[in-house]
Structure 1
Amino acid sequence: MSYDEVVESLRAIYDTRAPQRDATVKQPWKISERAAFLDRLRAIQARTLLEIGAGTGQDSLYFARAGLTVTAVDISPEQVAICRRKGLIAEVRDVLHLGFTPASFDAVWSMNCLLHVPDANLAEALRATRETLTPGGLAFLGMWGGVDSEGIMENDGRFFSFRTDEQILTAAAQHFEIVDFHTIDHGFRFQALTLARPAHSSHLRN
Structure 2
Amino acid sequence: MGDEGAVVRRDLLAYYDDEAATGARRPVSGYRVELRDRFVELLVGEGRRSVLDIGAGPGSDAAGFTDAGIAYRGVDLAPANAALAKRSGHDVLAASLFDLPFPPDLFDAGWSMSTMMHVPDGEAVDALREIVRPLVSGAPLAVGSWGGSLGEIVSTKHDDESRRRLFCLRTWEQNRELLEEVGTIEHHEVWETGAPGWEYQFAIVRVA
Map 1:2-81 onto structure 2 (within 5 A): 2-18=4-20, 19-22=22-25, 24-81=26-83
The amino acid that maps onto 1:164 is T
The amino acid that maps onto 1:122 is A
Is 2:197 the partner of 1:190? no
Structure 1 range deviating more: 62-71 or 108-117: 62-71
**1:21–1:56 CA contact under 8 A, matched in 2:** no
> TM-score, structure 2 length as denominator?
0.89
Percent identity of equivalent pairs: 29
> TM-score, structure 1 length as denominator?
0.90
Is 2:142 the partner of 1:140? yes
| Alignment partner, residue 204 of structure 1 | none
Deviation at 1:5, TM superposition (A): 1.4
Cα distance between partner residues in 2 of 1:131 and 1:25? 29
Deviation at 1:66, TM superposition (A): 1.7
For each residue in 1:23-66, what CA deviation from the matched residue of structure 2 results, as whole angstroms up to 9, or x when unmatched? x1323111111111111111211101110001111102321222
Structure 1 range deviating more: 154-163 or 99-108: 154-163
**1:177–1:195 CA contact under 8 A, matched in 2:** yes
Cα distance between partner residues in 2 of 1:150 and 1:35? 31
| Alignment partner, residue 84 of structure 2 | 82
Deviation at 1:165, TM superposition (A): 0.8
SS at match of 1:72: strand
The amino acid that maps onto 1:92 is A
For each residue in 1:126-158, what CA deviation from the matched residue of structure 2 results, as whole angstroms up to 9, or x when unmatched? 111121110111110001102251131254721
Ranges in structure 2 where 5+ consecutive residues have no aligned partner: none
Structure 1 ranges of 4+ moved more than 6 A: none
Deviation at 1:88, TM superposition (A): 1.5
The amino acid that maps onto 1:124 is D
SS at match of 1:57: coil
The amino acid that maps onto 1:118 is P
Cα distance between partner residues in 1 of 2:139 and 2:27? 29
| Alignment partner, residue 151 of structure 1 | 153
| Alignment partner, residue 171 of structure 1 | 178
Cα distance between partner residues in 2 of 1:143 and 1:45? 26
The amino acid that maps onto 1:178 is I
**2:105–2:133 CA contact under 8 A, matched in 1:** yes
SS at match of 1:157: strand
SS at match of 1:38: helix
For each residue in 1:50-88, what CA deviation from the matched residue of structure 2 results, as whole angstroms up to 9, or x when unmatched? 100011111023212221111111011111001111112
Q: How many residues align?
A: 197
**1:130–1:176 CA contact under 8 A, matched in 2:** no
Q: CA RMSD in A?
A: 1.5
**2:40–2:64 CA contact under 8 A, matched in 1:** no
Structure 1 range deviating more: 135-144 or 156-165: 156-165
Ranges in structure 1 where 5+ consecutive residues have no aligned partner: 199-206
Cα distance between partner residues in 1 of 2:73 and 2:24? 19
